Amino acid sequence: MQGIVFDKVSKQYKNAAAPAVNQVSFTVDPGSLVVLLGPSGCGKTTLLKMVNRLFEPSEGTIYLDGVNIRDMEVTALRRQIGYVIQQVGLFPHMTVAENIALIPSLLKWEKPRIQSRVDELLTLIHLDPLEYRDRYPAQLSGGQQQRVGLARALAGDPNVLLMDEPFGAIDAITRASLQQEVMQLQNQLQKTVLFVTHDVEEALLLADKIAILKEGALVQYDTPWNLLTNPADEFVRELINADDRIRQLTVLKAKDVMIKPSHHEQVLKKVQQRTDLRQVLSLLLSSPNAVVAVTDSSGKVVGEISLQQLVLE
């Protein structure tokens, strides 16, 4: 499993008055999802693109699994990193299957293995292989295209995934669905993910840790809960609206407060362990005497939550 280390990384563009990225240092632990968050122009996309060397650092070093990425051949580096962008970037003249198969083909996988991987990934992103593998991107909705873009990024089974505002151009309902899908996939696959967004709610929902940037500098790097309860300064407090108590419920998950299942007669609904408590609260308010059952990734009930528990929290 590969992690990413940024060691005093800077990027200075020619004729720019100040660095786009300025002496940034932090570590993305293997198997974690880290969000780069901040206002437009803060350097988050520049920092992301230095990981796969679309941009080269002016100073500092980036390590992937302990190896300086500058010591790696660029093509070999990029083939072991999945990359998802807002515009999706699917090739319009290729079918869905051909788009997903691109990296495995470059890696010279055998055809049966490639076909199996395409079908596996289409199933994983909830697109029926029989129905979708031979379609072209123009025959898909925006959300479906984004799902295929994610599948293509995962096709070569990379340990690291870079996601640059992947849901920024999608409507709110589809965006919420894709966010839930990313959470489920991350729970299953445990990739090392670096995710750029300017959406605070999205960051709080998805991240294990958030790196907050301002004018190219790292202001705070912490868990969502610690950012909300102990912001480093007024900029962080205002950016994430840290004083909003309801927002704090978005960073606590069902697994954090559930108790052992008691086979309560009034089970309102089942939710996954990573479901945030704001969603759980919304469900319970509709039926205060009921409980919400909590399931693991296999669907087995492993706990329950009542309204009284949330009040005590």
Q: What is the pLDDT of residues 100-159, one digit of tens each?
A: 999 899 889 999 999 999 999 999 888 999 999 999 999 999 889 988 999 999 999 899
Give the integer Cα–Cα distance in Å for 179 and 205: 8
**Residue 18 has what DSSP assignment?**
S
Give the integer Cα–Cα distance in Å for 308 and 26: 39
Give the residue-averaged pLDDT of 260-264.
81
C-alpha torsion sign, points 120, 121, 125, 131? negative
Prediction pTM value: 0.82
Provide the angle, in degrees to the nearest 10, between the axes of the packed helices 142-154 and 111-124: 130
Report the percentage of the chain scoring pLDDT > 90: 55
pLDDT at position 191 is 92
Q: What is the pLDDT of residues 81-91, one digit of tens each?
A: 999 887 768 89
Whether residue 264 has pLDDT greater than 80: no
Q: What is the pLDDT of residues 36-56, one digit of tens each?
A: 999 999 999 999 999 999 999
Nearest to 164 by CA among 203, 209, 197, 204: 197
Provide the angle, in degrees to the nearest 10, between the axes of the packed helices 142-154 and 172-189: 20
Give the 3-state secondary structure of residue 27.
strand
Q: What is the pLDDT of residues 201-216, one digit of tens each?
A: 899 989 999 999 999 9
Please, what is the average pLDDT of the chain?
90
Residue 64: pLDDT band by 50, 70, 90 thresholds? very high
